Every structure is written in C-alpha cells, then in structure tokens.
Amino acid sequence: MAKKNRIIYLIFILFLIFYSSSIDCLANSLWRKVENRAFRVGEKLTYIVKWKGVVGGTAVMQVKKIVKISGRDAYYVTLSTRSSRFFDIFYKIRDLIESYIDKQGIFTWKQRKKLREGKYRSNKETIYDQEKHQALYKGKKIDIPIYVQDSLSSIYYLRTQ
C-alpha cells in the first residue's frame, strides 16, 4: 500500500511540474513577439540639433541595460536633450525621458519624464499595465489599447519594422 501511495504521489508531482511549465509557456505565448535586429544594449545615438548653422543642442538616445519589470525582461532606454551653452543664455534645456520597453514585444511598461525647459519644471511617471490595459498617470487609471507605446518606445518599435 505504501508503494502505491508513493507512485500516486510521484505521478501527482510530475503532473504539477508539467502543468506549471505548460502554464508558464502559455503565459509567455500570450505576448506578441517582435523580431529585433535594429538595436541592442549599449547602443548610443547622438544627434546634434542645429538652427541656421548654429548648434542649438544635443539629443542622446541610449539603450542602457536589461531590467525586470512586471516579471518580464525590458530594455531601459533614455533620451536626454540639452541646449548648447550659447542657447542656455536664452532658454536652457535639460530633459531626460526614460522608458522601459518589453524586450520580446517592444511595447511600454513604464515611462518617466524629467523636463527642465527654461523656468518650466516637470516630473511625470506613467505606469502601463499591459495585462489590464490600463495606464496609471497622476494617480488616475486610464484605459489603453494593448501594446500601447510611449513617445520614446515608438521610435524603437518603428526601427524594428
């Protein structure tokens, strides 16, 4: 009788292992997969902004690292913009936009904006709950379509197409 219980117990354990791994596979297959050959960690793109031949500032886009967010791998990417010393006299710009982009599906999980433009100051964060199709912005829940992009992640998504 004890041997029979062990066999039943072993079958039960094997079932749980198989079931949990198939649930994990199913959960991963629910998300879209976007083939990405366009960018990778370590990429840094620097743009020089000119106006009538005068350098107005720079914009730097970087894919900094892979992080875990909402249990998934995500690219941590940034866009920093700054005005040149000359233009700082008139209108100083020091902006930083951070985006967390799902590595597999190239959609947004979170975005932060730290804007410093002249006397204007703003710090904003938006959390995208892709599973519930809601974004949390300024304490309010907003309905969003699945795989919604923020301004920065949309650039990276377009590069994969």
> In the predicted model, what is the mean pLDDT of residues 23-49?
83
Residue 23 structural domain: 1-30
Higher local confidence (pLDDT), 4 or 109? 109
Could you give the angle at the alpha carbon of 88 between the alpha carbons of 84 and 94, nearest 5°? 75
pLDDT band at 161 (very low <50, low <70, confident <90, very high): very high
Nearest to 111 by CA among 122, 101, 119: 101
E strand intervals along 2-161: 44-51, 54-69, 72-83, 94-102, 108-117, 120-129, 134-137, 140-143
- pLDDT value, residue 15: 56
Q: Are residues 18 and 48 in the same domain?
A: no
Q: Is 137 found in the same domain as 87?
A: yes
Do 1 and 65 share a structural domain? no
3 or 143, which is more confident: 143
Write out pLDDT tens, residues 83-140. Answer: 999 999 999 999 999 999 999 999 999 999 999 999 999 999 999 999 999 999 999 9
User: Do 1 and 63 have their domain in common?
Assistant: no
Q: What is the number of domains present in the chain?
A: 2
For the cut 90, the answer to whether the pLDDT of residue 25 exceeds it is: no
Residues 91 and 57 in one domain: yes
39-97 pLDDT tens trace: 999 999 999 999 899 999 999 999 999 999 989 999 999 999 999 999 999 999 999 99
Does the pTM surpass 0.85? The reply is no
Q: Could you tell me if 16 and 55 lie in one domain?
A: no
Q: Are residues 7 and 57 in the same domain?
A: no
Is 78 in the same domain as 26?
Answer: no
Query: How many Cα atoms occupy the beta-carbon half-sphere of 101 within 13 Å?
Result: 32
The verdict on 149 and 80 lying in the same domain is yes
Domain co-membership, 113 together with 143: yes
Verify that 19 and 44 share a domain, yes or no.
no
113 plus 73 within the same structural domain? yes
pLDDT in the model for residue 30: 83
